[in-house]
Amino acid sequence: MREREVIERLRRIATAPEARGLLDDVAVLDGLVITHDSIAEGVHFLPGDPPASVGWKLVTVNLSDLAAKGATPAGALLSMTLSGDGAWESEFLTGIEHACESYGLSIIGGDTIALPGGSPRVFGLTAIGRGGANIPDRRGGQAGDCLWLVGTVGDAALGLSQLQADPKASGPLVDIYRRPIPQLGAGAVLGPHAHAMMDVSDGLLLDAQRMAGASGCAIALELERLPLSSAFVAERGGELDARLFAATGGDDYALLAALPASLDAATLSLPQGTRITRVGTMSAGEPRISLTWGGQAVEVPERLGFEHQGNHRSRISASPMADRP
């Protein structure tokens, strides 16, 4: 089964309003924002990735979901598998500890199990945050909203490509792939204003399509506006093919926010160094995405991003984290 087919089946069970119809990244229970992500060796991280970076990544990808709701981290439950002599797991926990210290997250419980020798490692984390008066989800986008992106796209996918070509590769793109930075500060500032907001984990095009479907609006994205890092441009360039790669790569952990057209997000008191870019608009119409490059229409690629499949057995082609379609 494909990921979206599993979610459709689960919607028959997850009927409580707290589940938000399984159309959002989180559940909301009595003002608490709750999210869960799992990561698996060979799917979300490479076997040769440093174990501390895997621990860091598990924490921060969950915090990215909280950031997309403007939530403040409150606590987390860790699900951990044990294998081998324990040296790998010890370094993994060091990464967990450093990420929790960096973002004020407390581990408050969880579970451990032992794996048979040679089994791929799988970990999970449930993160809990305190929401504000407005907890934006994917369903609130409105015709006329402007779409703003916090952060850059394409860096992690390009860093992963470098590692797949050379397991000893290093540099800023590899660092971004291994150690994502959740946009918690920016999310807290945007949350009170956003009609809809989500993190970009499976690829900008795929996640924008999900927001369009949940909000019942059309989304138009201007590819020339996509924010690219200097490291990405130096490696891949900034032309159309590079931007399509960046928009479909995944693992970005940027924030995509639908804000009223009357609000210039660049004027908000965002954390120092925050990069925020208007990348498109929402309009009335069939829920879909459309693309332009320099004002000219661009065909939407067949592959919009990364989606898990039940028969997935191959080496990772991207390393995104998502728990809902």
Q: Which pLDDT value is given to residue 311?
A: 46
pLDDT for position 321: 44
pLDDT for 307 equals 64
| β-strand partners of 124 | 38, 79
What's residue 230's pLDDT? 97
**Burial (CB count <10 Å: 0-12, 13-18, 19+), residue 112:** exposed
* pLDDT of res. 309: 54
Closest CA to 138 of 300, 21, 9: 21
pTM of the model: 0.90
Q: For each of the domains in the chain, give its residue range(s) and CATH number, in order of start.
A: 3-130 (3.30.1330.10), 138-298 (3.90.650.10)
Candidates 178, 289, 158; CA nearest to 228 is 158
pLDDT number for residue 317 = 46
pLDDT along the chain (325 residues), means of 10: 76 78 84 94 91 97 97 97 88 98 97 88 96 93 98 97 95 97 97 96 95 96 97 97 96 96 95 96 96 96 74 43 43
In this structure, the chain runs to a length of 325
**Residue keyed to tokens 């693992």:** 251
pLDDT of residue 86: 87
Q: How far apart are CA 82 and CA 112, in angstroms?
A: 7
Tokens for 155? Answer: 């860096």
Residue 141 in contact with residue 217, Cβ under 8 Å?
yes
Dihedral sign for Cα atoms in the order 52, 53, 55, 59: positive
